[in-house]
Structure 1
Amino acid sequence: MIPKVELHLHIEGAAPPAFIRGLAQEKGVNLDGVFSEDGSYRFEGFTQFLRVYEAACTVLTGPEEFARLTTAVLERSMEQGVIYTEAFLSPDFCGGGDVGAWREYMHAMREAASRQPDIEMRGIVTCIRHFGPEQAKTAALCAAETAGDFITGFGMGGDETQGTQGDFAYSFDMAREAGLRLTTHAGEWGGAESVWQAVRDLGVERVGHGVQAIDDPALVDHLAERGIVLEVCPGSNVALGVYPDWRSHPIEKLRERGVKVTVSTDDPPFFHTTLGAEYDLLGHHFGWEDEIIREVNITAANAAFCDDATRETLLKKLEPAS
C-alpha cells in the first residue's frame, strides 16, 4: 500500500455515524432526521448536508468528546495507509470562539493525536463562512493565539455562496501575521471567480476543492504557474452534485494542465468513501497507477503545513521500495 497524505479533512465531518449515535445515546440527545434507516448520515444536497453536519455536532460538547473523536478519526485514516493528515478544526464548535475554551479543546485533540504513533496530525483552524466575517475574527484570534507546531494553518469552510472571499481578509491577515499558512474553500460552488478571489484577495497558497477553476483557462494557467495547490475531494464533489459522475470530474484535466492536485475525502462517512476508495476510483476512471498516486502524495507532502523535519520524514516514506 502506498502511504498517503491527506490535506482536506473536517474533524467533525469525519466522525463515524456510530460514534455520533453513541454520544447521542449517552447524553439523551434526540438526533431524529440525522440518520438513515441503515445508520448512515441522511441528507440531500449541500444545504441539508450543512444542517445535518451541524446537528451531529451538537453532541460534541466538550474536550473529552473531541479527544475521543480524534482517536476514532485517526484510527480510520491509518486503516487507509494515511501517514499524515491535516484536520480542519473550528473554534465555533470547540468552545464557541472563546480562546480559553479553545485551548482546552485543542490540547485534548493534540494529546489524542500524539498517542497514535503511526500517523502525524496537524490542525488548520477554520472559520465558518456562513457565520459571517465578524464571527470569523474570533476564529482567527483563536488560531493566532495557539499557532505553533500543532496548529499550523488557517482556513475557511461553510457555505461558499455567502459573501465573498475578500469579506474575510481581516481574519486571514491576522492569521498570516501569526505565522499560519493559509487555505480556503473555493471553486466548489462559487465558480472560477471564487478561486480568483481566494488567491487575489486572501493570498492563500492552497485552495480547498478549487475544481471549478477548470472553467477558466486563464485561471488554470495562473494556478499552474504560481504552484497553488488544490485540495481535491472527488467523491465529495460527486456525492453533493458538483459534478454528475466521476467521469465528469476535472481532476485529471487539471493535473494534465500542470496544476498541483492532491486527493482528500472531505467528510468521508457522509459521502460513503475512504481515501483508498478515492484512489481506486481514480484508477478506474482515469487510469491512475502507482506512479501517479505516489506523485500526488509527494505533492501533498510538499504542500503540507508542517515543519521541514516532518516533511522530510514523509517524503522518505513515500520513496518507492528499492
Structure 2
Amino acid sequence: MTQTLTAALVPKAELHVHIEGAAPPDLVRELADQHGVDVSGLFAEDGSYAWTDFAQFLAVYDRASRVFRTPQDYARLAETYLRSIASDGAIYAELTISPDHAAASGLSYADYVGGLAEGIARARAATGIEARMIAVGVRHFGARAVEQVARQVAAYPHPLVTGFGLAGDETEGHPANFARAFRMAAEAGLGLTAHAGETAGAESVTAALDFLQVSRIGHGVRAIEDTAVVERIVRDGIVLEVCPGSNLALGIYGALRFHPVNLLRRAGCRITLNSDDPPFFGTSLAQEYEACARTFGWDRAQSLEITRTAIAAAFCDEDTRARLLHAVATAEDAPPDPA
C-alpha cells in the first residue's frame, strides 16, 4: 500500500483552521450575490482566491469574510467545512473563530457563536464528527481589541467555545501586550494557544511561551532555528499546530522536503497537522496527512500518532477525549487493508 493510501485510512484531527479562511470560493460568491457584497478582484481567473503575499492574503481574507452576514450563513459554513473533512476521515476539529470579523459584518458575538454551533450540530448529526471553537483576538487590531474578545468570551460562555488564542500579523505587537487578555481567558477556564514562529522567528515562540502561558503554539515551526527553543518545547510538552501547506503557500519554505515538521517530530516535539486556511492555500487536512506521509516516509502508526497527539491536546472535555482516543485505538487495532 502506498503512503498516500495509508494516510487516507487514518482517522484525522485538526486543531488549527480559521473558519472564515475555510470558506470555499463558490460559497463566498453565492453569499456575495445574496447579500449584495462587492467581491470584484477577490478571485483569480480559475476561480481561486487571488493574492500574492501575506499582506494581500490578509486583505483578501478580510474581504471574503464580509459576505457572512447572518447566523445562518455561519451555520452553513461550519457544516460545509466539517462535513467535507469528515468525508476524509476527520473525527475532530477545532474551529478558530474571529469575533472581530463577525462584528465587521454586523453580527453580535452571541449570534456568531450560535450560528457556528448550529452548523457544528448539523455536521455532528450527519457524520459523527466532534468540533469545538477557539475564539481569537487579531494581533494587528491591537491589545484593546484582543482584550475585548477575551471579555466577550468570558461574559457569554458557550459549551463549544473552549479555547482562546491570538492570530494575525506576528510582526505587530509584542506578546507582552496581550498578557492581560490571556489572563482573563485563563481565568474563564479556556485553553490557550497563540500564533508564533510562522512569519516571525524562534524568538516569537519564546515570547509567546513567556508572556501568554499557552499550552499550544499555532505553527511554531521556526523554533527549529534555535536549538534551545526546541528543547524548551520538548521539555514543557508544548504542542505545535503545524500547517505545512500554509507555510509553503506563503513562501516560508520552498518545498515540503525542506519543511522542519519531521525534524521537530524527531527532536521530540509534539506535532499535529492542520490546514490553516485551506482554500486560500490550496490544501486540505487530508492532503496535509498524505503529503507528509509520502514526503517523510511516515507509516500508518506514525500518522495515527499525529492524530493521537492532537486529541490529547484538544480543548475538549475528558469524556469526548476518551471517545476520540478510543476511535483512534480501534483504527490502530484494525487489520491492514489488503489493497
TM-score range, shorter chain: over 0.9
* Partner in structure 1 of residue 5 of structure 2: none
Counterpart selection for 1:175 from 167, 185, 203: 185
- Residues 142-291 of structure 1 aligned to structure 2 (within 5 Å): 142-291=152-301
| Contact 1:8–1:208 under 8 Å retained in 2 | yes
Deviation per CA, 1:246-281: give whole Å up to 9, x if none.
111000000000000100000011111111111121
Counterpart selection for 1:64 from 58, 66, 72: 72
Q: Distance in 2 between matches of 1:179 and 1:29?
A: 38
Q: Distance in 2 between matches of 1:16 and 1:243?
A: 25
* Partner in structure 1 of residue 27 of structure 2: 19
Counterpart selection for 1:131 from 135, 138, 141: 141
Q: Distance in 2 between matches of 1:58 and 1:96?
A: 7
Counterpart selection for 1:3 from 6, 11, 15: 11
Q: Give the aligned residue type for 1:230.
A: L
| Contact 1:91–1:97 under 8 Å retained in 2 | no
Q: Using the aligned pairs only, state the percent identity.
A: 46
3-state SS of the aligned residue for 2:102?
Answer: coil
Please list every run of 5 or more consecutive structure 2 residues that lacks an aligned counterpart in the other structure: 1-8, 335-339
Q: Does 2:44 align with 1:32?
A: no
* Partner in structure 1 of residue 49 of structure 2: 41
How far residue 50 of structure 1 moved from its aligned partner, in angstroms, is 0.2
Please list every run of 5 or more consecutive structure 1 residues that lacks an aligned counterpart in the other structure: none
How far residue 291 of structure 1 moved from its aligned partner, in angstroms, is 0.8
* Partner in structure 1 of residue 6 of structure 2: none
3-state SS of the aligned residue for 1:5?
Answer: strand
Using structure 2 for the length normalisation, give the TM-score: 0.92
Using structure 1 for the length normalisation, give the TM-score: 0.97
Counterpart selection for 1:104 from 108, 111, 120: 111
| Contact 1:80–1:274 under 8 Å retained in 2 | no
Deviation per CA, 1:284-308: give whole Å up to 9, x if none.
2111111110011100000000000
| Contact 1:261–1:296 under 8 Å retained in 2 | yes
| Contact 2:240–2:272 under 8 Å retained in 1 | yes
Q: Does 2:81 align with 1:73?
A: yes
3-state SS of the aligned residue for 2:74?
Answer: helix
* Partner in structure 1 of residue 333 of structure 2: 321
Q: Distance in 1 between matches of 2:209 and 2:158?
A: 24
* Partner in structure 1 of residue 3 of structure 2: none
How far residue 94 of structure 1 moved from its aligned partner, in angstroms, is 2.0
How far residue 95 of structure 1 moved from its aligned partner, in angstroms, is 2.9
Instruction: Point out the more displaced range, 275-284 or 257-266.
Output: 275-284
Q: Does 2:90 align with 1:82?
A: yes
| Contact 1:11–1:87 under 8 Å retained in 2 | yes
Q: Give the aligned residue type for 2:61.
A: Y
3-state SS of the aligned residue for 2:10?
Answer: coil
Higher relative contact order (CA 8 A, sep 6+): 2
Deviation per CA, 1:27-71: give whole Å up to 9, x if none.
222211110111111111111100000010111122121111111
Aligned residues: 321
Q: Decide which structure has greater helix share.
A: 2
Q: Distance in 2 between matches of 1:4 and 1:210?
A: 20
* Partner in structure 2 of residue 92 of structure 1: 100
How far residue 116 of structure 1 moved from its aligned partner, in angstroms, is 1.9
| Contact 1:97–1:139 under 8 Å retained in 2 | no
Deviation per CA, 1:87-139: give whole Å up to 9, x if none.
111110223599x9211221121122112231111000000011010111111
Q: Distance in 2 between matches of 1:230 and 1:148?
A: 25
